[in-house]
Amino acid sequence: MDTVPGHELHGARRVGQWPADELVGLWGRACSGVVKHGFVIEYRDLEPPRTGIFDGLRIVIDPDVGFEMQCFLLLHLFGHSVQWVAPSLEHKLDALQHTEDRQQFMRVLHAYELEAAGFAMQLMHQVGVTTLDQWFSDFVETDWRYVEGYYQTDQLPDWQSCVVRDCKLVTPAPIPELRHHEVQVRFAF
Ligand SMILES: [Zn+2]
């Protein structure tokens, strides 16, 4: 047992240390699921600090980003893409774009992030990935801390300082009907 690296012990896995073999399976299945939901997946060189973008028709990922982050970005940006092209969710985008009060905006933003995470979790389950719920949930919380830190300080925080584990599991949310159309290019949040 003492030859087993810490990150391979059950319960000891942290965001950023996930074994690639488990993620390779996720990547292939998630790509298939995203494409079947009508979105194009594209690799493109993006200007830092951008790691991934979406425009309602395609999800673009920078291939220089680490593989674990690419997996998260694909799921994360799928969730946001759903939010921007589902007619039933259109009314919620107004608050995201036009809430001036900072605290109120942070609440709207958090709800937006969690909703996207729910669609992503649903996609993972749809494509038969059921062993990465904790990984994804921890990543969602880590990402939220990162985004929150950015809004609070106007600077991108150190990613490592945002990493958390054993977070509450994200609840999957049924994916609504989509009507794909181009929207203004958006970043991960
Ligand atoms: Zn986001």
**Scanning the structure block, which residue is given the tokens 């389950």?**
125
Distance between Cα 63 and ligand 1 center (Å): 19
- Spatial neighbors of 183 by CB under 8 A, at least 6 apart, are 55, 56, 84, 85
- Spatial neighbors of 132 by CB under 8 A, at least 6 apart, are 22, 26, 124
Distance between Cα 186 and ligand 1 center (Å): 10
Whole-structure pTM value? 0.91
97-118 pLDDT tens trace = 999 999 999 999 999 999 999 9
Distance between Cα 50 and ligand 1 center (Å): 12
Distance between Cα 109 and ligand 1 center (Å): 9
43-91 pLDDT tens trace = 999 998 889 999 999 999 999 999 999 999 999 999 999 999 999 999 9
